Structure 1
């Protein structure tokens, strides 16, 4: 098992054994691709018997075994983290360590529930002045005296279907869904990073001097940033069409989450931007070069394991960059990742793949987001409604605004990587 270096994970033999089996199967698959060469010529593969069809089938079986082993490792990691948390709780009760930060409260109400229950909506009252009313006494006989045609009679009634076709834009899954979320009451998330670790431990003879080790900590911080949007809405829209409210409730938070996706991967860190993974100083880098995409991704994963001592939890790349992986074929034309009539893999080397246009167009981003990243929410999505903006009061319009305040933290830069030159 790779050393997570996490004081809330308890290592035990079953986890170490499962990680060893996963690493061995990954190496077996890598060795087969190395034998096949850049053209994926199955005739060069000597470690697997049979013709090309048999070898490709073996690759498919091995890939499925990798997925199964990866799932087992993930399950055991959950148990290990739970055991670590229990151990930490015991230490807190005994006074051995400080009380950990509270996790995000479960069962929080949805944005729609908060929006409709907020004082911003309940307290809003349109102008109380009513326009003059009048009753028109029309002689229907005189009206219908002309030929009773559509132009002088009733126009056909047309009722909408109720369907609203949304503008084509990046859909779920959202990248933010793969980032652990906590809460904070501060303007910044401040933590300590061990920046010096010199292990001088060595075997010594009796009565000889002990070697001196070195440890040093550095304070790190990530500032809370705000992502915001507002939408002009007329009084009549909310008063006359109930579905308009539901439409706004859906689209405004969608916009915020979509922007957060981009910031998590690409934010440059200059206020008011978050610092996205691609711009975190010290992350691993791997140039694709002449390697196939699977090989380049594997090398990046190895760097994360060898130097970051972490296990990648997800790979983010664009659909265009996943396409050549899905369409990889052997020298005689057989698809490596399965026939087109069959569902393709959603993993690479056992690590889940998320296709998203939020990823950089020429690179892939991956890392152990599950253990070494955090989205600390200072304030969840907040919605306010007002007619005091500009000339909205005299024009009968509302300004509906929504925002969220949060900080993004990458605790261990070497637990993340970027594969460049993919396109």
Structure 2
């Protein structure tokens, strides 16, 4: 828009005649020049407005060609909107050079005119909207891994670990009744034991693009791989079969406790705790299957009252003063008692996550290999420090 303030006029308009008055001829020429400039602007604006009108009319005609029933839906809505706008007073003001934005409310146009594909009523125009995607990887259940928190860790520096294990000890200590008499001899039976250091590993592939574009997904894949290592390690520490390159688990070392009498499962466990104490060991941890712990913790007395806690206030996982953990890797019906001072998890290599583009054809196919790996073993220094109790054959309360 133009501001007709005389202060913005060219310097020539201020030229005075000899008498000191402003020259009228100069003023007229300046005004004529300004009129020409305004006229040019007006013609240009008119052409642009006509162009806009032509485009709107074109949209209206296309809508008329495509419309079905005479309802204000889909392309009909576009045509009606164009017609309403071109006939509105706001558009007329715009053609007259009004410096404003034309806003026209189109009545009687159903909101069903544009709907999500397959979600609208009849005669709606479907539009495939992109779904929102939540970042991350879901459906990833993880069991609690508690055994590693209780076992002492011992650094290992080789592919195997040797130690001397006490098998049997016969204490024959006695008095020497007479001088020169042969003193009593005790028997100590030991054996060289070798614990394997097992390599537990797994890998997967992902495209370089997905790792670059969704960093959170890459982190979750790495976390899932590392968790898989620890879950497998706990399972092997409990029930590993042993043999070449494999961990021999606690069940393989355990000395079975012979239950005396017909006892409830909880009493059979208490009897084994006492037997360990009588042998010089201290039960410091109990491991059982989650289903067995539920059976014990939900026992009721003759009046129907819970013996250990209640559903609202469950009993803490402790039996006979010994902490208890549950693991799905523990077979149901069997309970382990451990003196953890006589055990060690052999830590050769902590969980490590490695990424490589040089694996196979990764480089040319833009893939990345993710490899998670750890090396560990188990040392049981004293056989009597691990006891197993069969509670499957004991009567239930």
Smaller-chain TM-score bracket? 0.5 to 0.7
| CA–CA separation in structure 2 for the residues paired with 1:196 and 1:323 | 37
TM-superposed CA distance for 1:262, in Å, is 0.7
Question: Could you tell me which of 233, 240, 243 is aligned with 1:260?
Answer: 233
1:291 aligns with 2:263: yes
CA distance in 1, matches of 2:354, 2:136: 27
Partner of 1:400: 370
Contact preservation (8 Å) 1:234, 1:396: yes
**Which residue of the partner structure matches residue 301 of structure 2?**
330
Q: Does 1:241 align with 2:214?
A: yes
**Aligned equivalent of 1:321:** 292
Cα distance in structure 2, aligned partners of 1:161 and 1:256:
27
Please state whether the residue corresponding to 2:388 is helix, strand or coil: strand
Q: Deviations over 1:265-300 (max 9, x none)?
A: 1001122321111111x6233459842111111122
Please give the residue correspondences for 1:59-98 in structure 2 after superposition, counting only pairs within 5 Å.
Answer: none
Q: How many residues align?
A: 280
Instruction: Give, in whole Å, the separation in 1 of the partners of 2:303 and 2:202.
Output: 53
Instruction: Please identify the structure whose Cα radius of gyration is greater.
Output: 2
SS at match of 2:331: coil
Map 1:342-361 to 2 at 5 A.
342-361=313-332
**CA RMSD after TM alignment:** 2.9
Gaps of 5+ in 2: 1-54, 64-74, 79-113, 118-124
Match of 1:218 in 2: 191
Distance 2:247 2:352 in 1: 19
Alpha carbons 2:353, 2:371 under 8 Å: kept: yes
1:139-167 Cα distance to aligned partner (Å, 9 max, x none): x9999976374568975454334464333
Alignment of 1:385 onto 2:358:
no
Pick aligned residue for 1:203 from 154, 175, 178: 175
TM-score (norm 2): 0.63
1:311 counterpart (282, 299, 302): 282
CA distance in structure 1 between the aligned counterparts of 2:59 and 2:230, rounded to whole angstroms:
56
- Could you say which residue in structure 2 is the equivalent of 1:166? 139
User: RCO higher in 1 or 2 (8 Å CA, sep ≥ 6)?
Assistant: 1
Q: State the alpha-carbon separation in 1 of the partners of residues 153 and 333 from structure 2.
A: 28
Are 1:376 and 2:349 an aligned pair? no
User: Is the 8 Å Cα contact of residues 198 and 213 (structure 1) preserved in structure 2?
Assistant: no
Given that residues 285 and 323 in structure 2 are in contact (C-alpha distance below 8 angstroms), is that contact kept between their aligned partners in structure 1? Answer: yes
User: How far apart are residue 183 of structure 1 and its match?
Assistant: 1.0
Describe the shift of the 1:218–1:319 C-alpha distance in structure 2 as closer, same or farther (beyond 3 A): closer
1:404 match: secondary structure: strand
TM-score with structure 1 setting the length: 0.60
Q: Which sits farther off after the overlay, 287-296 or 246-255?
A: 287-296
SS at match of 1:239: helix
